[in-house]
Structure 1
């Protein structure tokens, strides 16, 4: 489980570090706590910004943007699936697994490849 969290955190940092400041759609709002060290973490805050899918599906699911709920789902790039447990005000948090799969459709091409084989 620790390696899963580490991998998701690493993927999130790689993606957010490649985003150039000032580009349209990027918010230059600094993180409220400063513990994440990346100003683009605030893009994952569903309460104060607009979530752009499917890109915000790559937000780390535990950024303390609200209460953690075991009945909500988050997209995991490690497993390429929607997994129970998400924060309610995180862009990578969904009330149902169906909503998560609909918004985070990264797995659709891989499912097509599996059907062809």
Structure 2
């Protein structure tokens, strides 16, 4: 089944630019002629708000046990800044590597402190 050129155009603007890449399609002209797609113009940078939200959700729902950490995510000009406390020092490298995989991220800085478990010593004497 052949798709209409305008349907292809709509999908590119909505799905590829908007949803997948999370870029503002303003300033981009999409033309489709006989199934050939041409993109021209400029796209804005990916908004930093969705990057921060995506990372917060990913960290807190999949990587960090509930209630065991306080990680703050800030994004500026494509650089992700991670600050806070984590339950395990090895988790820092994992969070940095995951953040690097998100489209639009150009660098990651991390200032994450590992919580030290408190041990109770009893006097048996």
The alignment's TM-score, normalised by the length of structure 1, stands at 0.25
Q: Which has the higher contact order (CA 8 A, sep 6+)?
A: 1
User: Rg: which structure is higher?
Assistant: 2
The alignment's TM-score, normalised by the length of structure 2, stands at 0.24
